[in-house]
Structure formats: C-alpha cells, structure tokens
C-alpha cells in the first residue's frame, strides 16, 4: 500500500506559531469591544466551533464550463482520493466533518469499505444526491426529454429506481437524507404540459418517498432554469413547497443560492420556508448571473449575512422543524478546489457569527417603532464587525489552521498529490462540467 501524503497536526501547529501572537492581540481587542455590547466572545467561539457544513464530493474536483475544463495537476481521480481531500479540508478548517455523494459519479464499489475509509479520517456521509440529468453508459432509457416527469412511464420508472438505489447506498454509508434535483423542463413553448408534468413529478416522488427509512428526510431542490431554458418543472420555492407538503412530513425544500433569478430576495424565501416548517437546508455558493456556482461570499457577502440573519433568528427562537443541513455546492474552474472550499467555508462561519452579533432587541424595537434606518444600522453594525479573530481562535483551538490557505500552500500538498496521482488514461473528468 503506497503511503499517501498527509498534512500532520504538528505542521499545522508549527504554522500557527507564526501568527499566534497577532491573533491573540486582535482577539483581546475584539473581546473588549464586544464586552461593551454585552457580548461574551467565548460564546461566539463556541458557536463558531458548533457550525458544521458538508463538502460535496464533486466540489473537490476541478469544475468547468459549457466550453472547457482546465484540469489541475493532482486533482482526485476517484472517490477515495476525493475523501482524502475532504479529510484535508476538515483538518485545516475543522468545520467540515461530512461529505455529500453524487451517484453515480461517486458510487462506491464497496460501501462498507468507503465508510470505513471515511471514518478513519473522522468523516461521515451527509445527504445523497441522485443524477437523472445525464445518461450513463449502458443505461436503457435516455433522460434527454426528462426523468421523473418524462411522458413515458418506463423512463420515469428507471429514474425512480435510480433514486431508490441512492437511498440504498446511503443506508449502507450511514447517510440520513436524499436530495433530488432534476433538470426536467422544456426549451420550447408548448413542449410540455405544465400541470401534467408536475403531476408526474409528484407521482414519481411518492414512490421515492415511500422508500425512505423512517429517520430519513428527502430534500427537493428547485432551480429556475438550466438545463431547460424555457420552462423547468421544479422551478421555484413555491412549487417546491407545494410538493414537499403533498409528499409528507419527511419532505423539505432545499435552497441552492444560485438557483434564483438575479436580485431575488433569497433571505425572504428562507424566512418563508422556516415559517412553514419546510426548510431542508442549503447548497451554498454565490452568483452574479445564474447558477454560476462561484465561491460563497465572493459576490454578495451582505446577502449571505442576511440569510444567516434569518437562520440565527430561527435558531434563537427555537422554531419548530428547524434543522437545516448545510452544504457548499460550487464549481471551482480557475482555483484550487481545496482552497476555494476552505475560503468559502470560512465565509459561511463568518456570516453565521456576524448574524449572532445582531442586537435582536434593538432590531425588534426599531421595527416596532417603524424606524428603518435604525433597523438597517443594527444589521450593519453586526455585518461590519470584523470577527476574523473569533474564527481563527475557533479553528486553532480545535487543532485547525489560523490561516488555512497559507498552511495548505506551505505544506506542498497539491504538489505531492500531483506526484501521487498521475493522470489516469481514460479517467472520467471530475467536477461539474
Ligand atoms: C445542479 C444542482 C445540484 C447539483 C448539480 C451538479 O445545478 O445544483 O444540486 O447536484 O448541479
Ligand atoms: Mn445544488
Ligand atoms: Mn446548481
């Protein structure tokens, strides 16, 4: 068995020594500042350490666009190497103990073996993801004109069986949720009968729902367009909510940030789903124009904060059925995926902690007294507080890196992986293409 390069805990703590003193200084300063606001910084460190989110197996491979993919040296070639990279991310940031698998992209040959491999890296498996938006070699029926909503029963049946198979694989891996995103829709007016297509979706989903174990949830992921450019069957949160209600108590609505038209008020959608007890969780990413799958917090950090403001408000209010599953769903086309995922993850925790800094009493008063500027100022005060020392302390105390990207680069991990992982002839491209 060849040895695989790993970043050791001792290397991380050595690297941390370089900046430890500054972090301490900044931490003390922030601690004093927060005390004036009656906030105990230690509570926030604990909150930051408790925030957990999953890495998608497809996110550690280099992504691409419709035009090209530019693979990076040393990228993972199979699910075991992907888990190695996920383990590395977890070591450095300490907030990503789970991995979400896309089937069949990362279908394990031996689920028990993969589960053990993950366990050795302190990882476990988050939601499963089915794929009926492309055809696989040897597949009997094509999804060219749809899957769960296809007019022909045999095609729908094949797509249903695929989803049930995902649940079976997930059971063996210890997963507890299944995410269904379909690309079904039409490119031409008249191509589909809108109501009948949705009826067929529900009929198919009822069969998938029936295959869920008692302690599982199913997540419906909506998306307003792409790959269908005229109409999409599960196009918005309203449709998703309707379906989740029709299906039953184990069905919830998943929000992928990139799946909305530009300028849509996503935080309000989040609030609605919380209020209706149907928020499944998130696929975090950022976007400028469409499903760009850019890094979280890179384009609209204030929007990310406002979403977390709703989440923290629900957390503090102990809203019923509020148990969101968090995941990054991004495509890294021009960066090292490990670096992007770490930086994006830090942005999630940052928004979460900043949202905890919102003076809720002040906000409620401002709302009651119809004072919009005071309300906005209350939010802005939290959003403009630099919480970086809290995030660094949370990571470092858990054994992670003060500077995850600097430490990753200094370790030479990617170069070592480039030696260990020479390109396989005929290997399938990883990442979203
Ligand atoms: C879709 C959607 C799904 C993801 C695929 C790869 O746009 O976001 O969640 O599984 O892309
Ligand atoms: Mn997604
Ligand atoms: Mn997407």
pLDDT tens profile 273-325: 999 999 999 999 999 999 999 999 999 999 999 999 999 999 999 999 999 99
The DSSP output letter for 402 is: S
Residues with CB under 5 Å of ion ligand 2 are 256, 283, 329
Q: Which residue has the tokens 């209350």?
A: 378
Sign of CA dihedral 45, 49, 50, 52: positive
Ligand 1 contact, 292 CB (< 6 A)? no
pLDDT value for 423: 82
The reported pLDDT for the residue numbered 200 is 99
Cβ of residue 220 lying under 6 Å from some atom of ligand 1: no
Whose C-alpha lies nearest to ligand 1, atom 1? 181
d(CA 229, CA 318): 39
Pick the residue whose CA is nearest to atom 3 on ligand 1: 181
Does residue 403 have its Cβ closer than 6 Å to ligand 1?
A: no
Task: Report which secondary-structure segment, H or E, holds 281.
Answer: strand 279-284
* Ligand 3 mean position, distance from CA 66 (Å): 14
Going from the Cα of 222 to the center of ligand 3, the distance in angstroms, rounded, reads 9
Ligand 1 mutation target, pool 69, 105, 133, 221, most atoms within 8 A of CB:
221
User: Does 256 contact ligand 1 (Cβ within 6 A)?
Assistant: yes
Give the C-alpha separation, 417 to 145, whole Å.
40
* Atom 7 of ligand 1, nearest CA residue: 291
Q: Does ligand 1 come within 6 angstroms of the Cβ of 336?
A: no
What is residue 122's predicted lDDT score, i.e. its pLDDT? Answer: 97
Cα gap 286→66, rounded to integer Å: 18
Structure tokens at 82: 């992907």
> Which ranges in 227-371 belong to alpha helices (H)?
237-247, 266-275, 301-317, 337-356, 360-368
- Alpha-helical regions (H) of 130-248: 153-173, 194-210, 237-247
Helix axes 41-50, 388-397, angle to 10 degrees: 60
pLDDT at 276: 98
Both tokens assigned to 23: 């972090």
The residue to which tokens 């109409």 are assigned: 231
Q: Is the CB of 129 under 6 A from ligand 1?
A: yes
Ligand nearest to the CA of 258: 3
Cβ-count burial 115-141 (b if 16+ within 10 Å, e if not): bebbeebebbbbbbbbbbeeeeeeeee
* pLDDT at residue 432 in the model: 62
Q: Is residue 285 lining ligand 1, measured as CB closer than 6 Å?
A: no
Whether cis (ω within 30° of 0) applies to the bond prior to 194 is: no
3-state SS string over 99-130? Answer: EEEECCCCCCCCHHHHHHHHHHCCCEEEEEEC
**CA of 258, closest atom in ligand 1:** 8
Q: Of all protein residues, whose CA lies closest to atom 6 belonging to ligand 1?
A: 432
Compute, in degrees rounded to 10, the torsion defined by CA atoms 209, 214, 216, 221: 20
The DSSP output letter for 64 is B
Q: Which atom of ligand 1 is nearest to the CA of 58?
A: 6
Could you tell me which residues come within 8 angstroms of residue 257 by beta carbon, excluding any fewer than 6 positions away? 266, 282, 283, 284, 285, 286, 287, 296, 303, 304, 307
Q: Assess whether the C-beta atom of 432 lies below 6 angstroms from ligand 1.
A: yes
Q: In sequence order, which residues have a C-beta less than 8 Å from that of residue 186 and are 6 or more positions away?
A: 192, 228, 230, 231
DSSP assignment letter at 176? -
Q: Which residues of the chain are under the pLDDT cut of 50?
A: 1
Task: Please tell me if the CB atom of residue 221 comes closer than 6 angstroms to any atom of ligand 1.
Answer: yes
Minimum-distance ligand 1 atom for the alpha carbon of 254? 9
Structural contact between residues 118 and 126, judged by C-beta atoms closer than 8 angstroms: no
The Cα 303–Cα 195 span in angstroms is 33
Q: Measured in angstroms, how far is the CA atom of residue 225 from the centroid of ligand 1?
A: 12
| Cα–Cα distance for residue pair 41/31, rounded to 1 Å | 5
Kind and range of the H or E run holding 31: helix 9-36
- CA-to-CA separations, 293 to 32, 66, 298, in angstroms, rounded: 38, 13, 11
Q: How far is the CA of 283 from the centre of ligand 2 (A)?
A: 5
Q: Is there an atom of ligand 1 within 6 Å of 283 CB?
A: yes
Cβ–ligand 1 contact at 291 (below 6 Å) = yes
Q: Is the pTM of this model over 0.75?
A: yes
Q: Which residues of 387-421 are buried (b: 16+ CB within 10 A; e: fewer)?
A: bbbbbbbbbbeeebbbbbbebbebbebbeebeeeb
> What pLDDT does residue 427 have?
54
| Ligand that comes closest to the CA of residue 432 | 1
Distance 217 CA to ligand 2 centre (A): 16
């Amino acid at each position: 068995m060849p040895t695989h390069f790993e970043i050791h805990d001792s290397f991380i703590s050595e690297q941390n020594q370089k900046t430890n003193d500054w972090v301490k200084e900044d931490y003390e300063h922030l601690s004093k500042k927060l005390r004036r606001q009656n906030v105990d910084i230690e509570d926030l460190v604990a909150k930051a350490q408790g925030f957990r989110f999953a890495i998608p197996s497809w996110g550690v491979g280099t992504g691409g666009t419709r035009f090209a993919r530019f693979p990076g040296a040393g990228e993972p070639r199979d699910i075991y190497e992907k888990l190695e990279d996920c383990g590395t991310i977890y070591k450095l940031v300490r907030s990503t103990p789970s991995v979400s698998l896309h089937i069949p992209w990362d279908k394990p040959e031996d689920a028990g073996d993969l589960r053990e491999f993950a366990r050795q890296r302190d990882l476990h498996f988050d939601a499963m993801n089915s794929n009926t938006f492309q055809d696989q070699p040897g597949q009997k029926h094509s999804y060219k004109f749809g899957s769960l909503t296809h007019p022909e029963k045999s095609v729908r049946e094949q797509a249903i069986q695929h989803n049930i198979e995902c649940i079976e694989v997930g059971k063996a891996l210890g997963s507890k949720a299944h995410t269904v995103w379909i690309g079904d829709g039409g490119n031409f007016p008249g191509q589909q009968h809108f109501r009948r297509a949705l009826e067929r979706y529900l009929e198919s989903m009822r069969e998938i729902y029936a295959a869920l174990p008692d302690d599982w949830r199913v997540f419906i992921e909506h998306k307003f367009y792409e790959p269908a450019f005229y109409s999409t069957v599960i196009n918005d949160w309203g449709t998703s909510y309707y379906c989740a209600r029709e299906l039953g108590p184990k069905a919830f609505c998943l929000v992928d940030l990139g799946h909305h038209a530009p300028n849509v008020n996503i935080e309000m959608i989040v609030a609605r789903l919380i209020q209706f007890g149907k928020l499944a969780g998130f696929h975090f990413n950022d976007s400028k124009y469409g499903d760009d799958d850019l890094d979280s917090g890179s384009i609209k950090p204030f929007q990310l904060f406002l979403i977390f403001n709703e989440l923290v408000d629900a957390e503090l209010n102990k809203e019923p059925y509020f148990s969101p599953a968090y995941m990054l769903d991004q495509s890294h086309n021009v960066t090292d995926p490990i670096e992007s995922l770490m930086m994006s993850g830090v942005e999630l925790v940052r928004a979460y902690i900043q949202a905890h800094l919102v003076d809720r009493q002040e906000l409620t008063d401002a709302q009651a007294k119809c004072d919009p500027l005071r309300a906005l100022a209350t939010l802005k005060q939290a959003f403009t507080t630099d919480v970086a020392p809290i995030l660094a302390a949370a990571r470092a105390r858990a054994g992670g890196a003060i500077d995850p990207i600097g430490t990753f680069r200094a370790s030479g991990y990617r170069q070592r992986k480039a030696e260990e992982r020479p390109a396989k002839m005929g290997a399938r491209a990883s990442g979203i293409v």
